Amino acid sequence: MSNQLTTVDITLEPTDLRRLSTLCGPFDENIKHIERRLGVEISHRGHHFRIIGKAHTVAATEKILHDLYVETQPLKGQSANIEPQQVHLAIQQAKVLEQDDSDPAAEKMTHVKTKRGIIKPRNHNQAQYVRAILGHDVNFGIGPAGTGKTYLAVACAVDALERQEVRRILLTRPAVEAGEKLGFLPGDLSQKVDPYLRPLYDALFEMLGFEKVEKLIERNVIEVAPLAYMRGRTLNDAFIILDESQNTTMEQMKMFLTRIGFNSKAVITGDITQIDLPRGQRSGLRHAIEVLSNVEDLSFTFFQAGDVVRHPVVQRIVQAYDRFDTSQKAKQQHDHD
């Protein structure tokens, strides 16, 4: 199966905490960069690493980590640094972004029909993502912003509702503050949470029209709510989308996944490199990838930086900010040392 995941455990030797710190970069920025570019999940305890993703990207990631670790070896008594450019070069040399392990027979694009028109996936990963949603009850879409994870999930939900495969759509996301405090926003809880749910509303408005969405919300056919409202419910005959799931705790993710009832479909989207949880609290999405990677009837689609489908300059802007932030943190750590 094209979306089957592979898990590989490796140990980087010889063990050297300074070299390990150099490899990972400040706040694991080098590891996050590899995750973002290759569409894999990397976790580690000391020198023991676990890589989860497609077989060819996992193999490439393993080689990249080994190669970069070799480059951390001190030269003439001076410690080596791993600069963002070195990480970028290692990824380019692996040529993994040029590979395509897809089945040629499955290359036919899957179109999603809504009353406002036909929505077509723009690349292979998007097409695979739509096929996975249509063929599985629980689906994970993981990758950077701008890859169409949420938009295509909403499109599939609208399509299922209009074909009467489900009776309602439920859209939810954790109300985690990204540098701002909910308490300072005016209004009641619903009004405070609405800005966090705006991307979901926007996708619905585009596909169904404002008036139709408002009517469906009034009739409770479409429900948009913070994740906390899901506790204690069982959701039957529904298409459920959990957006920004990297900001769930492990308990919240388990709670959400156990809410899924009969004739329901769930799509969980998130970016494991953009976690806004308090430091030391593990992401429920990262945990779910490890726990569920070998469970049958689930699908995982990992998007890569090259899958960004917004204006072409957006991808270059994001990558430029990533390189700048990583170099600044490395400089600060060097100055501190």
Tell whether 1 is covered by a domain.
Answer: no
Those residues whose C-beta lies under 8 Å from the C-beta of residue 52, and which sit 6 or more positions away, are 5, 6, 7, 40, 41, 42, 58, 289, 290, 293
Decide if 308 is inside a domain: no
The dihedral over CA atoms of 135, 294, 142, 65, expressed in degrees to the nearest 10, equals: -140
Question: Is 309 a domain residue?
Answer: no
39 lies in some domain: yes
> What Rg do the C-alpha atoms of the chain give, in angstroms?
21
Whether 189 maps to a domain, the answer reads yes
Based on the fold, state whether residues 287 and 156 are members of the same structural domain. Answer: yes
Whether residue 104 is contained in a domain is answered as no
Do both 122 and 90 map to the same domain?
A: no
CATH number at residue 41: 3.30.1370.10
Does residue 18 sit in the same domain as residue 137? Answer: no
255 and 329 both lie in a single domain: no
Q: What is the CATH number of the domain that holds 227?
A: 3.40.50.300
64 and 145 assigned to the same domain: no
Domain that holds residue 19: 6-99+315-336
Those residues with Cβ within 8 angstroms of residue 5's Cβ, 6 or more apart along the chain or in another chain: 52, 53, 54, 293, 294, 300
**Cα 309 to Cα 16: distance, rounded to the nearest angstrom:** 40
Residue 97: beta bridge partners?
A: none
As for how many domains the chain has, the answer is 2
Residue 252 domain-assigned (yes or no) = yes
pLDDT at position 181: 47
- Return per-residue pLDDT of the chain as tens, 337 residues: 445 789 999 999 999 999 999 999 988 989 988 998 888 999 999 999 999 998 889 999 999 999 999 989 887 666 678 887 788 778 877 766 555 444 443 444 467 777 667 887 888 889 899 999 988 999 999 998 888 999 999 999 999 998 888 999 999 988 765 444 445 555 555 565 667 778 788 889 988 989 999 999 999 999 988 888 888 888 899 999 999 999 999 999 999 999 998 889 999 999 998 888 888 889 999 999 999 988 888 999 999 877 876 666 766 776 777 778 777 777 777 676 6
Q: Are 128 and 246 members of one domain?
A: yes
Same domain for 95 and 179, yes or no, is no
Strand partners, 249: 283
Predicted TM-score of the model (pTM): 0.69
152 and 252 together in one domain: yes
